[in-house]
Structure 1
Amino acid sequence: MLTYDPRGFVKKVTKDGAEYTLQDAEEDFEAAKKLAGGLPRPLLVDERGLRGADHAVRKFWVSPDVPAVCKCVAVITGNSPVSNMIGNFVITVSKPAVPTKLFASEQAAMPWIEWFLDDEHDSPPPSLRFR
């Protein structure tokens, strides 16, 4: 489910046990585009309920089309060391077209998301406070 947060970003929450397909990704991308009102916005993705996503999905979300809709992507994975290890590996290998970072909670992700709400910021913050 995707919603527009009044603070200025798009939020996606994955249902528990979901198998995320390429069709789901394409539908979410179009929904995010509409919610964002034609401007690139930060995307906060809560993937704690995700059961799996295939290579086509990962390839879709790192495509050159993403910056037209997403200014950055903050992914909530929870506190699982395995999920974080796999997620960080995928981010490193896939080289997303927009800054992408994993977080344990929405609270932890918000300072990073808020950095990108400023129109002057297109790259990650330099401060260690955000890492």
Structure 2
Amino acid sequence: MIENQYIKIWTEDDIMFGYYKVDEVDLEVANHMITARVEACDGKTYPFLGDVSSVKTITKDARSAFAEGDGIKNMNACALVVGSPVNRLLGNFFLSVSKPTIPTRLFTSQEDALGWLSTFKKENVD
């Protein structure tokens, strides 16, 4: 497990989990989150479940950082769990504007997200 003031990350059953601990994400915060996730991967590729239910705002630069380069490094799929209409709006905006190059979906329940991510388990895990 890796944890900093912005995110808590752990791996369980070949899926990486990330719990976002902040309500505002700018480029600096996004970079701290991305660095922690890449470090937690330790060179392996995982499907990623991000609980973004606490996030209320995210900058354009942060959205771009999450959608490409190190933002998707060592991920073969991404499920984002949203907790409110505001989160859903932010998530849909992220998906429509940033267009991540890995399969990415929004979910309102962790169980549904895990069901979808399970199809990506071990697909590209090194």
TM range (shorter): 0.7 to 0.9
Cα pair 1:40 1:67 within 8 Å, conserved: no
> If the length of structure 2 is used for normalisation, what is the TM-score?
0.81
> Residue 50 of structure 1 aligns to a residue in which SS?
coil
Matches within 5 A, 1:75-86: 75-80=80-85, 83-86=87-90
The change in CA–CA distance for 1:107 and 1:4 in structure 2 (over 3 A counts) is: same
2:121 corresponds, among 101, 114, 117, to: 117
**Within the alignment, does 1:95 sit opposite 2:96 as a pair?**
no
Cα pair 1:9 1:41 within 8 Å, conserved: yes
> If the length of structure 1 is used for normalisation, what is the TM-score?
0.78
How many pairs are equivalent?
119
**Within the alignment, does 1:40 sit opposite 2:45 as a pair?**
yes
Deviation at 1:18, TM superposition (A): 1.7
1:2 corresponds, among 8, 11, 19, to: 8
Q: In structure 1, what is the Cα distance between the partners aligned to 2:15 and 2:65?
A: 20
1:61 corresponds, among 61, 66, 74, to: 66
| Dislocated runs of 4+, deviation >3 Å | 64-67
Q: Which residue of 1 aligns with 2:26?
A: 21
> What residue ranges of structure 1 are gaps of 5+ in the alignment?
122-131
Cα pair 2:57 2:90 within 8 Å, conserved: no
**Pairwise CA RMSD:** 2.1
Percent of aligned pairs sharing the same letter: 24
Cα pair 2:76 2:102 within 8 Å, conserved: yes
Deviation at 1:120, TM superposition (A): 6.0
Deviation at 1:86, TM superposition (A): 4.3
Greater radius of gyration (CA)? 1
Deviation at 1:87, TM superposition (A): 2.2
